[in-house]
Amino acid sequence: MIDTLAFDADDTLWHNEHLFQDTQEKLAAIVRRYRPGEGLAEALYDVEMRNLALFGYGTKGFTLSMVEAAVDLTASRITAAEIHEIVGLGKAMMTAPVEMLEGVEEVLSHVAGRYRTILITKGDMVDQTSKIERSGLAGHFDQVEIVSRKDTATYRRVFERHAIEPSRALMIGNSMPSDILPVLELGGHAAHVPYAILWAHEAHDADPVSERFYRLESLKDLKPLLGRLHNGHS
């Protein structure tokens, strides 16, 4: 019997990745003032991966990586004014409206009182806290956890801290490596809700083979899944 629902936030409850894609296009326009834009996405991704251990996930690290990539790609010819422009792109991301995915409030209202709910989101503390506050969804959750990474050890600590039994918990998210695989490894249940745009770092080739894994077309499919699980059918 499932008694706890854990939700991812970015690109599960609200749109997020499109901001990064749109901002990357604006960065490309700046870099093209000095050279053709080919290879920008790959170069920026390489810089991001090098910087993850230092900056972590989130908009601030992405902004610093944009600056570094722009300096590299323009052979240091980029001006201070243009670097200031790139920093402005990052600030705009951090203050952009939080746009809900379809059916989110309906689903959260449906599970309220029926299940213990916890929000587990990865990224910068200030940035993620701001998005949660601006979303207006904080009141739907019994606990909120903002973590620097999502791996098996992190989920184990979160579950132990809140006395959550993994076998009675269902994690819902859009990322296989971050939301699904670590929870399955702990013995929990996990439902994958794919998002239209996926960051390359979160890509995963095949669905896991597990009777505790469920694929949903949208978050609205969570309600019938919970009904089947409650009745003992997967």
Name the burial class of residue 133, with classes exposed (0-12), middle (13-18) and buried (19+) by CB atoms within 10 angstroms of its CB.
Answer: exposed
Q: Closest Cα to residue 229, out of 57, 100, 114? A: 114
Note the pTM of the prediction, 2 decimals. Answer: 0.88
Q: Which residue has the higher pLDDT, 188 or 231?
A: 188
Domains of the chain: 4-14+98-230 (3.40.50.1000), 17-94 (1.10.150.240)
Phi and psi angles of residue 95, each rounded to the nearest 5 degrees, phi first: -115, 5
Query: What digits encode the pLDDT tens for the residues 52-108?
Result: 888 888 899 999 999 999 999 999 999 999 999 999 999 999 999 999 998 999 999
In this prediction, what percent of the chain has a pLDDT beyond 90? Answer: 69
Where does the pLDDT of residue 201 fall: very low under 50, low under 70, confident under 90, or very high at 90 and above? very low
User: What is the CA 79 to chain-centroid distance, rounded?
Assistant: 32
Inter-residue contact 155 to 184 (CB < 8 Å)? no
- pLDDT for 209 equals 67
* Rounded Cα gap, residues 200 and 211, in angstroms: 27
Mean pLDDT of 203-220: 82
The mean pLDDT of the chain is 90
In this prediction, what percent of the chain has a pLDDT beyond 70? Answer: 93
